[in-house]
Amino acid sequence: MMSPTLDELLRALATAGPGVDVPSLVDDIEAFVEGDPERSRTAIWSFAGDEGLRLRLVGFLADPRDFDVLVSALVDPRLRYTALEGLANQPDVERVDAVARSLLDDPDPMVRSKAAGMVSFGARPGALEVLLPLAGDPVPHVRMVLGWHLGGLRDRAAEPVLRGLLTDPDEQVRKFAARGLARLNRQ
């Protein structure tokens, strides 16, 4: 039995319905991208599927040539989260961090959460300071994600905020603040 081509995998992903093993399709697509990035890039940019799916696939490429395309997609609220995910794979950490920081106050809480994770992961100077206001975010999910990511910064200055999140009214926020403290203490 022949292995599917990248084009076949892209079509399968675009039409995936209930019962389709999407994570396996994504793994196979990522394997193609790693094995032949330039040919994969051509196939992905030729793909005539949904724009959100195309952006997700462009993100797999992690190609610096796509940075501006991903940034330009941020203006569309329907594509913003997907474009931000794609930017997370970009190699220019400084530019990615700047974009992520600019989205920490986005109206979409999922975008704020993703941006917080990216700022934390990059751990560039000033990361803690720009993340701290999210401890007062009105959406529990954002505070929950923040608790985890503050611990990942491994900066003792995050401890008072994490301790404050331990008293949050939301149980998940408290759990993730405790996990964040555990991460912080594993320095």
CATH number at residue 150: 1.25.10.10
- Residue range(s) defining the domain that contains residue 159: 104-187
State the residue for tokens 């319905």: 17
Total-model pTM: 0.87
- Asked whether the beta carbons of 87 and 59 are under 8 A apart, the reply is yes
Token output for 42: 């051509």
Q: Please give the pLDDT value at position 117.
A: 96
Q: Please give the pLDDT value at position 54.
A: 87
Q: Please give the pLDDT value at position 105.
A: 97
Mean pLDDT along residues 142-146: 97
| 117: in domain | yes
- pLDDT, one tens digit per residue, over 75-123 is 999 999 999 999 999 999 999 999 999 999 999 999 999 999 999 998 8
| 135: in domain | yes
| 13: in domain | no
Burial level of 13, CB count in 10 A (0-12/13-18/19+)? buried
| 136: in domain | yes
| 141: in domain | yes
**pLDDT band per the 50, 70, 90 thresholds, residue 16:** confident
Mean pLDDT along residues 119-144: 96
| 126: in domain | yes
Give the ranges where the chain is alpha helix by DSSP (H).
Answer: 6-14, 22-35, 37-46, 51-61, 67-73, 80-87, 93-102, 109-122, 127-131, 140-152, 159-165, 171-185
| 63: in domain | no
Q: Please give the pLDDT value at position 81.
A: 96
> Residue 121 contacts by C-beta under 8 Å, 6 or more apart in sequence?
88, 149, 152
Q: Residue 104: phi, psi to the nearest 5?
A: -65, -15
Number of domains in the chain: 1
| 16: in domain | no
pLDDT at 8 over 80: yes
**pLDDT band per the 50, 70, 90 thresholds, residue 1:** low
